[in-house]
Amino acid sequence: MPDRNDAALEFLLSRRSRPAKTLTTPIPTQADLAPIFEAALRTPDHGKLEPWRLIVLGREALKGLGTLAGERAAALGLDEVQTEKGRNQFDTGNLAVVVVESPVDSPKVPAIEQTYSAGAVCLSLLNAALAAGWGANWLTGWPAHDRAFVETGLGLASHESVVGIVHIGTEKFAPPERPRPNVEEKVTWRLA
């Protein structure tokens, strides 16, 4: 019988993202973020390609991105609701970590597996921040998929994309639990 890590299992069974709009200061320092990043970057990585990178955004950088999101929304002809939704995470955020998929040309590792690895970094980053006691939330939104926004605002190369924007801070209050998937409805057993 394997050794159980009951504390880790209990954390995973009870983990809950914190809505980004409920996160406030204080935010983690660079020293606080170091073990979170170390944990996040231990993600499954087929072929050891490391097809991802992180960009840490502080308050002033986020405000600038909020302005850029507003400009891009106007250029795209988005309505007020879409504009507000695109700007909000930047206008109200204090610290966010952008997970960038930066695929590597590889004859052995399909591009989709590199995308999965970058997604795994997002979840690992989210869970590591929560385990460290911070509130955290993984977002994207239309700006994360707008080429002009990500290239101008984040400096992404043409082959890169945003997989997630993980906001980290102090939670104002614990959110209520939400309904979870029914395991019996989502799991199919084929043992023979």
Binding-site sequence positions: 15-17, 42, 46, 138-140
Cα-Cα-Cα-Cα dihedral sign, residues 39, 123, 12, 178: positive
Amino acid present at 48: K
Residues 95 and 129: their CA atoms lie apart, in Å, by: 12
Annotated binding site for FMN: 15-17, 42, 46, 138-140
